Amino acid sequence: MVSVINSIDTAHEDMIHDAQLDYYGTKLATCSSDRLIKVFDVKGGQQTLVANLAGHEGPVWQVAWAHPMFGNIIASCGYDRKVIIWKETNGTWDKLYVYSNHDSSVNSVAFAPHELGLVLACGSSDGSISIVFSTGDGSWDAKKINGAHSIGCNAVSWAPAVAPNALLDQSGKQQPVKKLVSGGCDNLVKIWREEDSQWVEDQKLEGHSDWVRDVSWAPSIGLPKSIIASCSQDCRVIIWTNDGTFNNWTSKVLHKFNDVVWHLSWSITGNILAVSGGDNKVSLWKENLEGQWVCISDVNKGQGQITDGQSAISS
Amino acid sequence: MKVLWSPTKSDFFLTYSNSSVYLYQTSQGAVELNDGTYATRLAENSEVPFIKCVAWSPAKLEDNLVAVGTANGRVILSNFGQKADNDLDGREFVPKHQKQCVYLFWNPLDHNLLAEGLDKHSKDCCVAIWDINAKTGGDTASLERQRYSSSTSDINAVTRPYVEIGHGETTTSFSWFHKEPKAFVTGMSGRLKVYDIRDASKPHLFAQTKAVYGVCADPLSDSRIASFSESHIALWDTRSFEKPLLTLQETKPVITIDWCPTRRGYLAVLCKDSSTIKLFDIRHSVIGSEELDPVITERTVQPKKLSSISYFSWHPTFENRLLTVSPDGELRDVQVYERMPLTFASNFHFSWACGKKVIDLYFEDEEIDISIKMKNRALGGYGLCTEDPMQNALAVKNEPHLYGLWSWLTIAKDIIAQEEFQSKTKGTPSTWEKFIGVKNLLWPDNTCIGGQRSEMETVTWSYPDGSRGNTSQENSPIYKYTSPLRSRALQLCGWDYKREARDSLLGLLASLQTEGDFERAAAIALFNLKIGKAVDILCQANLPNGNAVAMALAGFTNEKNALWRKTCANLRHSLEDPYLRAMFTFLSSDKENFDEVLTEEPCMAVKDRVAFACIYLDDQKLWEYLKNLSQELKEKGNLDGILLTGASQEGVELLQSYVDITSDIQTAALAAIYCMPSEITKDTRISTWIESYRILLDSWRLWHQRSKFDIMRHILDSNIRVPTQAFISCNFCGKSVACNMTLASKVRPYMMSGGQSTQTKQRLTCCPGCKKSLPRCSICLMNLGTPSGSALYLQKEPSDFEEKLSSYGNWFTWCQTCRHGGHAAHIRNWFQNHSDCPVSGCSCKCMTLDSVGQLSAQSE
């Protein structure tokens, strides 16, 4: 058997906009138009609902888990222009902090690598990106990138902290990378870096011809290059690569799909890219030794069936 | 032609035109609905003339009961002639005056109520709500009407509506509310009116509007209503009904609109002469006292290019499924696709959401991703056997490309140990550079100029009969090259490698024979000119063509025997084993030129090729050969090449290209730490692999493996200190109570102030941060607090690191559940006789809860 497929009835009353597994893959958080976030324990194919987090006053678009070193912490963002940080203490989930400094729907939320502390980025329809961080003494602070994407920012994703081209500090130790990538309604993918405690644009990647729907920075496990995937309403997925020596990013179209491509996700080693599109398919892609991206598996959600792609895997 | 899904049976739908109603069932049949979806026409009803509208009963009945409204206002119930446990089939509902039926709607909860809209009549109502179970035929009014009627079936007719509304008015549209079954909204004479049938005398709410067509209440949110007029769509909220919340403008006249029954706020709109259905995702929120502008996301669905749609129906239960029909009756089953968010987890679970469900996929196959393989290897103890690195190769037996690396590491480590032993006994410092590769060993400056001065000597064969050749008699002598460095290289290749103090070559041959590797043993024997030994090995081996090969070898003489050579050359090409081939190539080739032995594919293992080259190639050729070979292996990311490069910068490049190709950072990280300490330790690539691998182990919850990995790093390179990863925090200030380096200086005064200033009984019974007392031991009731650990900061000599500051019995420990605890020795004594908590009043079964076995079972 290649894989075991399992369907979870979340009992959400409306459409689910995001589902995220925690660092260990043992907890699942989902969020929906029904304004709720649900937390499930996932063990051996069984899911148990452990919490309903109510606090948003509109559809909740995304959820994100913090690194477990901070405890069980979830950040959520929604149509109500809020970002809520939730923390579990002795089995009870409570609001830890509410950030409400956006003027429009907050579409995307992502925790930074733990090396940077408890930091998260939020992208909003007001076109700005906020970087919200815990100051360590229980209070929170934020920095804002105004006008990051005109019309709106749809997705944010952090660079891995351990990167091949990381800067070295005086003692020769690697400094964690502090960069993020965003995608927006201006059809652009932008990379941001912190410089003198201000966030500045590092790169502007032009390639899409319609709204960028999702961006995802690949985990760089041992590879001497940085890789970003972006997908768009122009039906394309683009892989952006930087070889680590200069700040040059080269682009390669992974595939032109028949419909809008909504979401992307990398496997933990960055070897497999999962893509979901308006054609109702989830497909898994892998780069072969010749540098070509090939579809290794197609999953049709309607039937829950798996059909193997080009490089057939026996099932 | 219009379509309707059955409200109760998910695989039934009907289509109707002016003259007929057709019943269909999906799954298979002749009617194609979509790629791979078909339906069968089950029944038809063509008996009712002038059909105006059809409504499907929401009651869960055996049969498919539909109400058919006609041009003269009659409503006829039909179940397509099926057998039924009710007598509803054929029942009619007859209005007082003959007027066209405008619409029909069953009450979604009160299944016996059926609303009918009728054309305007000055003396009659325009909305009639029928009770289908009302008495039939009996009342006088109906008898009277029968006299004027041409129909003969009026015995089974209901003539008195349950409720009548809107005398002399015009009704255009109607919708029941889904959660308040007595209420409905109707478009009537330029107004939208909300009625309750318990008091139908006047509307409860109304709004003046042109948009009186197609009114529909969102089945998932009763306060939300949509209606249209011409090309405008109006959205209403019954809580503020005076004006529409929102108006949408279309370019063409609207034919029909309908809310999605499975998704809140999702409105489908069909315009005239359009091949697409527009979907409006309407989000309107009131946040606090503030009303946000509604956000509308618009999508279009095109069932078929260039084919216009005349009507559609949402599937009542399947999420986002629509059935459309074209003017010429072509049906399409359409799925509206949602955004599906995705997530990959570290434990090979991959989940995505779809509508209200989450689908979880679990990968088990190692072929899908190297990370699955890496985790399995880690579980098998891969890389954690420092005593004998070769054991690690056994953990990855089925992956031969890893073999070269581990055998090189094993030999390199043994040589290092031997060297250290010798330098200790002789008292001379070791000249051996650790973990060096063959190429760097022979040419440390990485250039052939000025390096290596090998001796050339003429060597002779030992023949099968035991005789030895005579150098002076040989007409083509064999030249062998030797130097101290070449011998070392042969050691690294395993050819001259005394593991158990046996004759190195004979020992190697014997062990190869035991492992069943006869071809290799024979070839090595032959390359060492022991032709007799080679013949012996082959004869014992019982190989498929071993005897023939042995015969051929036995017949070898060094005289230029043309026939023998020719035969050998021919036989060679029929041999598949690289070692057997190499033997014949060696014997039959020109003694000055062994290129073929080293280049012919498939070739011998890298270590044997290198060893061969180290014996028979002169300095210039050997340099060229090793340089090219290491370059080739480096590019291919072949770990066998580590034999040539060693733990050098080139070795790192080789590992990097191996990682690039395989993503196996596990092996790269392990190789790097086994070579420690070495010149490459500081390379950032190496630290990246090590860190990445540690992160992977953590994310797989393989904490034991990760700890062992850290310990191993420390053992192999004592310069590496892994920072403390667990802390005990103070109940009051939350800071660590451990005396780490930075705190040590501050802490010391308190250690002394306890009155017990003897070195062995140093105590710190308060938090170094806030100076509050630490909890008491639940047995002896003394405040806890002991200097524990190896107290690095107090020791200058690394050898003292292992010495603990206080004995284990004085450390403190506690139950992870009730958080009660005390000195380790006390607690241990207590739990020898008890299973519950020593604190009186605490009912915690600490001993049964806190078992190591349980923990390890959970981590699986």
- pLDDT tens, residue by residue, B459-476: 776 666 666 665 555 555
Q: How far apart are CA B384 and CA B669, in angstroms?
A: 12
Residues of B within 8 A of A26 (CB-CB) are: 347
Residue B360 has pLDDT above 80, yes or no: yes
pLDDT at A55: 93
A219 closest CA partner among B371, B312, B86, B436: B371
For chain B, helix (H) and strand (E) counts, in that order, are: 24, 38
pLDDT at A96: 94
Min mean pLDDT across B68-72, B355-359, B714-718 is at B714-718
Rounded distance between C-alpha atoms, residue B236 and residue B621, angstroms: 89
**Amino acid B800: pLDDT:** 47
Mutate to test the interface with B, among A81, A288, A301 (most CBs of B within 10 A): A301
Ranges A2-6, A84-88, A96-100: which has the least confidence: A2-6
The Cα of B714 is separated from the nearest Cα of chain A by a number of Å equal to 18
Structure tokens at B9: 């049976």
Q: Is the peptide bond before B677 cis (omega within 30 degrees of 0)?
A: yes
* CA torsion angle B639 B643 B646 B651 (round to 10): -30
Mean pLDDT, chain B, whole residue set: 79
Asked if the model's pLDDT at residue B7 lies above 70, the reply is yes
pLDDT at A79: 87
Query: Is the predicted pLDDT of residue A158 greater than 90, yes or no?
Result: yes
Hey, which of A27-41, B33-47, B312-326, B371-385 has the most confident mean pLDDT? A27-41
Mutation choice for B interface testing from A210, A276, A298 by most B CBs within 10 A: A276
Report yes or no: B130 and B161 within 8 Å, Cβ to Cβ.
yes
Confidence of residue B752 (pLDDT cuts 50, 70, 90): very low
At B749 the pLDDT is 38
Q: Which chain B residues touch A171 with a CB distance below 8 Å?
A: none
Segment B743-749 mean pLDDT: 41
Total Cβ atoms within 10 A of residue B212: 24
In the prediction, which pLDDT does B452 show?
61
Instruction: State pLDDT tens for residues B194-237.
Output: 999 888 888 888 898 889 999 999 988 878 899 999 889 998 88
- Distance between CA atoms of residues B853 and B860, nearest Å: 11
Share of chain B above pLDDT 90, in %: 12
B contacts of A222 (beta carbons < 8 Å):
656, 659, 663, 665, 668, 685, 688-689, 692
Confidence band (pLDDT; 50, 70, 90) for B751? very low
pLDDT value, residue B857: 44
Provide the CB-side half-sphere exposure for A197 (13 A, CA).
3
pLDDT digits (tens, 9 = 90+) for B804-828: 666 777 777 888 778 888 888 888 8
> What are the residue ranges of helices labelled H in B637-772?
642-645, 649-662, 665-674, 684-699, 703-716, 741-753
Contact (CB, 8 A) for A71 and A88: yes
Which residue stretches of B354-464 are H helix?
Answer: 370-379, 390-395, 403-426, 438-442
What residue type is B330 in one-letter code? E
Question: A145 falls in which pLDDT band (50, 70, 90)?
Answer: very high
DSSP H or E stretch at residue A38: strand A36-43
> Which residue in chain B has the smallest CA separation from A34?
B264
Contact across the interface for A2 and B353, Cβ inside 8 Å: no
Decide if B342 and A264 are in contact by the 8 Å CB cutoff. yes
B666-687 pLDDT per residue, tens? 999 998 888 877 777 777 788 8
Q: Where are the domains of chain B?
A: 342-368, 376-451+620-721, 455-617, 738-859
ipTM of predicted assembly, 2 dp: 0.87
Contact B339 A17 (CB under 8 A): yes
- Option in B350, B368, B688 nearest A313 (CB): B368
Q: How confident is the model at residue A314, as a pLDDT?
A: 28
CA dihedral B795, B800, B804, B806 (to 10 degrees): -60
Contact B359 A6 (CB under 8 A): yes
DSSP H or E run through A129: strand A129-134
What is the structure's pLDDT at B448? 67
Asked if the model's pLDDT at residue A24 lies above 60, the reply is yes
| Helix residue ranges per DSSP H, B756-811 | none
Nearest residue of chain A to residue B697 (CA atoms): A24
Percent share of chain B, pLDDT over 70: 83
Query: Cα-flanking dihedrals φ and ψ of residue B529, to 5°?
Result: 70, 15
Mean pLDDT (whole number) for B579-602: 77
For chain A, the structural domain boundaries read 280-315
Chain-chain contact of B688 with A19 (C-beta, under 8 angstroms): no
> How far apart (Å, rounded) are the C-alpha atoms in residues B629 and B640?
10
Q: Is the pLDDT of residue A237 over 50?
A: yes
B343 and A265: CB-CB below 8 Å? yes
With CA atoms as reference, report the closest residue to B672 among B716, B719, B635.
B716
Position A295 pLDDT exceeds 50:
yes
Residues 6+ apart with CB under 8 A from B593: none
**pLDDT score recorded for residue B550:** 80
Whether B269 has a pLDDT exceeding 90, the answer reads yes
Average pLDDT over every residue of B600-616? 84
Confidence of residue A165 (pLDDT cuts 50, 70, 90): low
**For the residues B575-583, what does the mean pLDDT come to?**
83
Mean pLDDT of B355-378: 84
Question: Does A265 touch chain B if contact means CB atoms closer than 8 Å?
Answer: yes
Residues of A in contact with B358 (CB under 8 A): 7-8, 10, 16, 19, 28, 30
The reply to whether A168 touches chain B by the CB within 8 Å rule is: yes
How far apart are alpha carbons B241 and A253 in whole angstroms?
51
8 Å CB contact between B579 and B611: no
pLDDT confidence of residue B157: 80
Q: What is the dihedral of CA A80, A83, A88, A94, to 10 degrees?
A: -50
Q: At what angle do helices B518-527 and B606-616 cross, to 10 degrees?
A: 10
**How would residue B558 be classed by pLDDT, with cut points 50, 70 and 90?**
low
User: pLDDT tens, B756-775?
Assistant: 444 433 446 777 777 778 88
pLDDT, position A221: 75
pLDDT the model gives residue A208: 94
Structure tokens at B179: 């959660």
Residue B497: pLDDT band by 50, 70, 90 thresholds? low
pLDDT at A180: 95
- Cβ of A276 within 8 Å of Cβ of B287? The answer is no
The closest alpha carbon to B193, from B181, B208, B182, B179, belongs to: B208
The DSSP output letter for B800 is G
Which residue(s) pair with B259 in the sheet?
Answer: B267
Tell which A residues from 39 to 98 touch B, by Cβ distance under 8 Å: 42, 45, 57-59, 62, 79-81
Q: Which two tokens stand for residue B31?
A: 């009617």
Residues of A in contact with B263 (CB under 8 A): 14-15
Q: Which helix (H) or strand (E) holds B514?
A: helix B504-514
pLDDT at B400: 77
| B144 pLDDT tier (thresholds 50, 70, 90) | low
A263 vs B: CB within 8 A = yes
> Chain-centre distance of CA B180, in angstroms?
45
pTM of the model: 0.73
Window from B139-148, B349-358, B776-785 with minimum mean pLDDT: B139-148
Burial class (CB in 10 A: 0-12, 13-18, 19+), B682: exposed
Position A277 pLDDT exceeds 50: yes
